[in-house]
């Protein structure tokens, strides 16, 4: 007999997604750890975050059933990282329903996947529900046959994003896995929800049925939704039968790498094991944070990144890691995870550089801080004090950059606390002083630009005509300080984010590089001087008349008055100007289709895409988007010349040229005309609309109340998208033996055939169940007027057992006998499941369905129980099923006899 295929994390993830795909769910890719358009959180904390607009009815979902494996990050349990189950970065497996199925199907799907597909023993699973959610309890009992007495009611089974955070909310039902009494606390009250290690929460089914405002008030959602979340790491722990998450295949290679670096062996020293787990978790988390563009900083997600990295470095130091190690370990994480997240390999160099630079920068701070803090703790211990003064903690933080969290952790390891209140008082005192000086800082920057504008000639922009040229350096800036020379650093520099402003600035007499304006991003490129190269990462206009090239020296140096050759990144400029011209055509098409009242409310023009915001009280229909795409592409194919002219501002407005939302225009102003489109615009454009090539809308969503947003692609990017979609259509057509033209009809026919087949199969099952019920009714044991039917049957599911049971009961009652007991058992996946029913008349004689189920369950090596009239159970002793079924009439007879004797006594 071949060995069972192991449950690797890759297989678990794919099995989950395929399971829901087979049940009509659209597989959704994981979104970034940096939330899109959600300022309420710094990082993505749950799979449902990308679903919130759909749940609230603000946007149209790509499908009403969806499933995903979402990258998530939480720091709420950071102090517990290192135990068996707590981590910061994790993957959340989730299925979602937007106004489609609700509690019944969510519960049924979860139960089927856990017990039938993943093969978890039902008697090891415990659902919990919100105390007043009777509907969920009914579905657990009716849909899965789960004993109601094993369903635990917990006040914690309510999901929202915070007691006063606006958004969807509702009761939830968690599924716990019993890891065994050996891991329990031993208390009589130990049950799911206990803080011991016995019961592990693996899945949360959230029933989104309310909308909460910022006062905590709740009102029903227009449609009920489902949001479930199951941690891949925890499920891997269970299916791979490991003691902790860190022994699963998601962590074991990372643990091994850090053990190798520290010269330790995992599993020998419990204290060292915890430290290795913390480093492994934090190292893995940092790779994904850096991979999604999060950079270390002092606020928001940047602060989270920095805190995690500093904890990792500090714990590494405890194991003797005195040299930078996170960059080395990053390759292990990337190698392990890149089959699922190939972007990690593409961004490998950036990830390693970011981790290495930040670790090197922090190590000096760490060494100094630990030495000073050690002296403070030694002195406190000498005088018998157990609390670090808040002022000392603040001095470490403010003067030496030593994180307050680390101060608390190190103190706790010495059995001491920190005066948090004193620390916060010192922080507030510093903030008040900083607020007084903040105005001075801003004033200094404003004064800098004002002074430079007065001292320097205006920068001449030549970028409408060319993308290269020569010029002369008139000013150099480093940290907003004027310099005579800037040089390339000797140390490694982290890569810059596209929108991050570098602190080296170059001002030239003239430049072809476009400064960010009107929604169009600034140019990038290179400045080549006699003795060095400057990489331009962004171009800005801080005040009118001055253009600043922000970037860094890659080698050599530049001096004031140096001649430079200028080269714009032409491929990037070409893609950007196609997108900019396309926004003008899109604006015109929207006005033509939706009316002249439609006005642009904002835009972003990048080389990769364009984004266009406009006022409209409703979303665009699918047909309207198609019409807009067609109109824009008609304008492109018309190959209209793009003409520009400079006009006095008022004259330009009188010509009908559109002035855009939020823009401040110079006087005179540049007017850009292409066919029927005429706008005031200072951006760069194609020479003729035909150069755009192609336009495709990829998304239409809500941006704000009454504001819609279109995102689109042009040129080669749009072509690549369409080619990918064509390959998808061709693949589907080939698999379904249809032509692309008839693919939709073929799918419709297959869906109809499948529906008809399911109905026909259901009818066959019901007919077979009725026939079997007739046969079994004839085999009833007559015990002095008490009829007992006990049998092992073939049934596809629990519902079929119930149908057969009802038919048998009805047939026997038709014989004018109401004292009936029925047990029906079936074997599925090498496990016996059974139901027991006893009519009220026989209950009065002493028979009890729950006790019958208990006795049968024990004989089958499992469990059973329930109410007097109905019960259920299961067991693994399939080979004993025939014997146990034959014993049921005697079990019933013994119960009745015992009750009769009791009455006589």
Contacts 24+ apart (CB under 8 A), 481-487: 483/560, 484/559, 484/560, 485/557, 485/558, 485/559, 485/560, 486/534, 486/553, 486/557, 486/558, 487/532, 487/553, 487/556, 487/557
Cβ-count burial of 707 within 10 angstroms (0-12 exposed, 13-18 middle, 19+ buried)? middle
Tell me the HSE value of 897 on the side-chain side, using a 13 A CA sphere.
8
Question: What's the predicted TM-score (pTM) here?
Answer: 0.50
Tell me the C-alpha distance between 476 and 484, whole Å: 7
On average, the pLDDT of the chain sits at 88
What six digits make up the tokens of 63? 């499908």
Q: Give the span between the Cα atoms of 767 and 747, in whole angstroms.
A: 30
Report the candidate in 512, 530, 505, 374 with the shortest Cα–Cα distance to residue 452: 505
User: Buried (b) or exposed (e) across 13-28, using 16+ Cβ within 10 A?
Assistant: beebbebbeebebeeb
Bridge pairing between strands 510-511 and 460-461: parallel
CA gap 129, 140 in Å, rounded: 10
**Which two structure tokens, joined as six digits, stand for 455?**
């001292």
Cis peptide before 668 (omega within 30 of 0): yes
Q: What is the pLDDT of residues 139-161, one digit of tens each?
A: 999 988 888 888 999 999 998 87
Residue 707 has pLDDT above 70, yes or no: yes
Q: Is the pLDDT of residue 37 over 70?
A: no
The pair of structure tokens assigned to 34 is: 């940096």
Cβ neighbours of residue 868 closer than 8 Å, sequence gap 6 or more: 838, 843, 848, 849, 850
Give the contacts of 428 (CB within 8 A, at least 6 positions apart): none
Give the Cβ contact number of residue 597 at 10 Å. 8
Residue 656: pLDDT above 90?
Answer: no
Q: pLDDT digit string (tens) for 788-806?
A: 999 999 887 888 899 899 9
Place of tokens 């119930």: 802
Residue 439: per-residue pLDDT: 41
DSSP H or E stretch at residue 491: none
Q: How far apart are the first and last CA of the chain?
A: 58
763 has a pLDDT exceeding 80: yes
Q: Which helix (H) or strand (E) holds 17?
A: helix 9-21
Q: Do residues 40 and 161 touch, judged by C-beta distance below 8 A?
A: yes
CA nearest 203: which of 261, 126, 151?
A: 126
Stretch (H or E) spanning 674: strand 669-674
- pLDDT at position 53: 76
Report pLDDT digits (tens) over 657-687.
Answer: 887 644 667 888 999 999 999 999 999 999 9
User: In the predicted model, what is the mean pLDDT of residues 516-520?
Assistant: 90
> What digits encode the pLDDT tens for the residues 471-509?
999 999 988 888 888 887 643 344 444 434 447 899 999
Reference 832, options 202, 328, 156, 123; nearest CA is 123
Query: pLDDT digit string (tens) for 3-22?
Result: 678 999 999 999 999 999 99
Q: Which residue has the higher pLDDT, 91 or 650?
A: 91
CA distance 245 to 251: 7
Residue 904, classified by CB atoms within 10 Å of its CB into exposed (0-12), middle (13-18) or buried (19+), is: exposed
- Look-up: residue for tokens 């009519």? 839
How confident is residue 900, by pLDDT bands cut at 50, 70 and 90? confident
- Is residue 206 predicted with pLDDT exceeding 90? yes
CA distances from 670 to 509, 586, 645, 681 (A): 22, 20, 6, 6
- More reliable by pLDDT, 173 or 186: 173
**Parallel, antiparallel, or unpaired for β 510-511 and 600-605?**
unpaired
pLDDT at 437 over 60: no
Residue 761, judged by CB atoms within 10 A of its CB (0-12, 13-18, 19+), counts as exposed
Distance from C-alpha of 673 to C-alpha of 825, rounded to nearest angstrom:
79
Q: Are 683 and 518 in contact (CB under 8 A)?
A: yes
* Counts for the chain of helices (H) and strands (E), in that order: 23, 34
Residues 9 and 253: their CA atoms lie apart, in Å, by 13
- Confidence (pLDDT) at 441: 42
Neighbouring C-beta atoms of residue 471, cutoff 10 Å: 21
Higher pLDDT, 531 or 435: 531
pLDDT of residue 252: 94
Question: CA 93 to CA 68: how far, in whole Å?
Answer: 6
Residue 903: which H helix or E strand, with range?
Answer: helix 881-904
**Which of the two residues, 593 and 49, has the higher pLDDT score?**
593
> Stretch 454-459: mean pLDDT, rounded?
89
CA distance 132 to 91: 31
Strand partners, 127: 175
CA distance 552 to 496: 10
pLDDT at 500: 44
CA pair distance 415, 736, nearest whole angstrom: 68
Q: Of 305, 292, 280, which Cα lies nearest the Cα of 361?
A: 305
SS3 category, 29: coil
Query: 768 vs 539, which has greater pLDDT?
Result: 539
Q: Which residues pair with 176 in a beta bridge?
A: 126, 201
Half-sphere exposure of 330 (CA within 13 A, CB side): 25
* Contact present, 230 and 94 (Cβ < 8 Å): yes
Please name the helix (run of DSSP H) or strand (run of DSSP E) that holds residue 423, with its range, or none: helix 420-455
743-777 helix and 715-735 helix, angle to the nearest 10 degrees: 40
* pLDDT tens-digit map of 59-109: 788 899 999 999 999 888 787 888 888 899 999 999 999 999 999 999 999
Comparing CA positions, the residue from 715, 717, 712 lying closest to residue 698 is 712
Task: State how far the Cα of 110 lies from the Cα of 97, in Å rounded to an integer.
Answer: 13
Flag the least confident range among 198-202, 434-438, 455-459.
Answer: 434-438
- What is the model's pLDDT at position 332? 93
Task: Name the helix (H) or strand (E) containing 650.
Answer: helix 649-654
Inform me whether the pLDDT recorded for 628 exceeds 70. yes
d(CA 296, CA 305): 5
Q: Which residue has the tokens 């010349």?
A: 641
**Residue 189, class by beta-carbon neighbours within 10 Å (0-12 exposed, 13-18 middle, 19+ buried)?**
exposed
Question: What ranges in 512-619 are assigned the alpha helix state H?
Answer: 570-594
Provide the 8-state DSSP code for 658: B
CA dist., res. 78 & res. 95, Å (int): 26
Q: Does residue 711 register a pLDDT over 90? A: yes
Tokens found for residue 870: 């109905």
- Cα–Cα distance, 822 to 87 (Å, whole number): 49
Percentage of the chain modeled with pLDDT above 70? 94
């Amino acid at each position: 007999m071949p060995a069972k295929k192991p449950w690797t994390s890759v297989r678990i993830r794919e099995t989950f997604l395929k399971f829901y795909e087979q049940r009509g769910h659209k597989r959704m890719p994981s979104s970034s750890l940096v939330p899109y358009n959600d300022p309420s959180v710094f990082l993505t904390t749950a799979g449902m975050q990308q679903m919130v607009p759909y749940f609230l009815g603000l946007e149209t979902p790509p499908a009403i059933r969806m499933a995903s494996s979402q990258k998530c990050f939480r720091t709420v349990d950071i102090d517990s990282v290192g135990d068996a189950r707590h981590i910061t970065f994790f993957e959340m497996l989730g299925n979602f329903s937007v106004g489609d199925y609700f509690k019944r199907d969510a519960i049924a799907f979860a139960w089927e996947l856990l017990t039938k597909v993943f093969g978890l023993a039902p008697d090891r699973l415990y659902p919990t529900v919100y105390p007043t959610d009777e509907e969920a309890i009914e579905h657990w009992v009716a849909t899965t046959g789960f004993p109601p007495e094993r369903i635990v009611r917990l006040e914690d089974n309510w999901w929202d994003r915070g007691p006063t955070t606006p958004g969807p909310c509702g009761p939830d039902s968690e599924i716990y896995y019993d890891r065994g009494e050996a891991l329990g606390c031993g208390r009589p009250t130990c049950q799911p929800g206990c803080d011991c290690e016995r019961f592990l929460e693996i899945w949360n089914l959230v029933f989104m049925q309310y909308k909460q405002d910022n006062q905590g008030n709740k009102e029903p959602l227009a449609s009920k939704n489902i949001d479930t979340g199951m941690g891949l790491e925890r499920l891997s722990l269970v299916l791979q039968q490991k003691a902790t998450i860190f022994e699963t295949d998601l962590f074991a290679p990372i643990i091994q790498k850090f053990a190798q670096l520290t010269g330790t062996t995992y599993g020998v020293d419990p204290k060292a094991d915890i430290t290795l787990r913390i480093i492994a978790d934090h190292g893995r988390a940092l790779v994904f944070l850096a991979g999604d563009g999060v950079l270390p900083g002092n606020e928001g997600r940047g602060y989270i990144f920095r805190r995690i990295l500093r904890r990792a470095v500090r714990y590494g130091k405890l194991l003797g890691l005195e040299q930078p190690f996170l960059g080395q370990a990053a390759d292990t994480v990337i190698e392990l995870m890149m089959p699922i997240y190939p972007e990690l390999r593409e961004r490998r160099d950036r990830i390693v550089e970011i981790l290495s630079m930040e670790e090197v920068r922090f190590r000096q701070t760490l060494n100094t801080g630990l030495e000073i803090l050690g002296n403070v703790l030694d002195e406190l211990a000498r005088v018998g004090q157990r609390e670090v003064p808040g002022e000392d903690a603040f001095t470490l933080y403010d003067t030496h950059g030593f994180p307050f969290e680390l101060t608390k952790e190190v103190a706790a390891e010495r059995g001491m606390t920190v005066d948090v209140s004193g620390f916060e008082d010192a922080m507030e005192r510093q903030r008040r002083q900083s607020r007084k000086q903040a105005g001075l800082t801003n004033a200094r920057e404003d004064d800098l630009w004002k002074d430079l504008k007065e001292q320097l000639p205006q920068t001449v922009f030549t970028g409408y005509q060319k993308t290269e040229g020569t010029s002369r350096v008139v000013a150099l800036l480093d940290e907003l300080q004027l310099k005579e020379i800037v040089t390339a650093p000797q140390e490694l520099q982290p890569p810059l984010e596209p929108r991050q402003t570098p602190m080296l600035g170059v001002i030239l007499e003239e430049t072809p590089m476009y400064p960010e304006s009107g929604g169009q991003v600034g140019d990038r490129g290179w400045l080549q001087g006699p003795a060095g190269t400057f990489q331009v990462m962004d171009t800005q206009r801080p005040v009118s008349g001055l253009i600043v090239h922000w970037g860094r020296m890659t080698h050599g140096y530049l001096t004031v008055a140096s001649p430079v050759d200028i080269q714009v990144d032409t491929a990037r400029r070409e893609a950007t100007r196609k997108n900019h011209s396309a926004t003008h055509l899109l604006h015109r098409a929207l006005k033509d289709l939706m009316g002249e009242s439609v006005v642009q409310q904002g835009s972003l023009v990048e080389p990769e895409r364009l984004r266009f915001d406009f006022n409209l009280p409703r979303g665009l229909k699918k047909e309207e988007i198609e019409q807009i795409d067609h109109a824009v592409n008609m304008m492109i194919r018309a190959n209209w010349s793009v003409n520009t002219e400079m006009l006095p501002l008022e004259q330009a407005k009188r010509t009908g040229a559109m002035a855009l939302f939020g823009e401040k225009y110079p006087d005179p102003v540049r007017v850009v005309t292409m066919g029927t489109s005429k706008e005031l615009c200072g951006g760069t454009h194609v020479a003729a609309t035909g150069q755009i090539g192609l336009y495709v809308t990829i998304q239409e969503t809500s941006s704000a109340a009454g504001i819609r947003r279109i995102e689109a692609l042009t040129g080669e990017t749009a072509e690549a998208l369409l080619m990918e979609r064509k390959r998808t259509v061709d693949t589907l057509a080939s698999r379904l033996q249809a032509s692309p033209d008839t693919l939709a009809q073929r799918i419709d026919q297959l869906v109809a055939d499948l529906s008809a087949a399911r109905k026909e199969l259901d009818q066959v099952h019901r007919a077979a169940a009725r026939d079997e019920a007739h046969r079994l009714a004839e085999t009833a044991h007559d015990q002095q007027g008490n009829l007992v039917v006990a049998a092992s049957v073939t049934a596809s599911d629990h519902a079929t057992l119930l149908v057969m049971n009802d038919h048998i009961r009805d047939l026997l009652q038709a014989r004018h006998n109401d004292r009936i007991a029925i047990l029906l058992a079936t074997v599925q996946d090498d496990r016996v499941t059974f139901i027991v029913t006893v009519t009220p008349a026989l209950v009065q004689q002493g028979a009890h369905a729950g006790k019958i189920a208990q006795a049968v369950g024990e004989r089958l090596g499992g469990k059973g129980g329930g109410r007097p009239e109905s019960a259920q159970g299961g067991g693994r002793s399939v080979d004993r099923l025939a014997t146990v079924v034959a014993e049921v009439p005697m079990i019933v007879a013994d119960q009745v006899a015992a009750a009769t004797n009791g009455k006589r006594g």
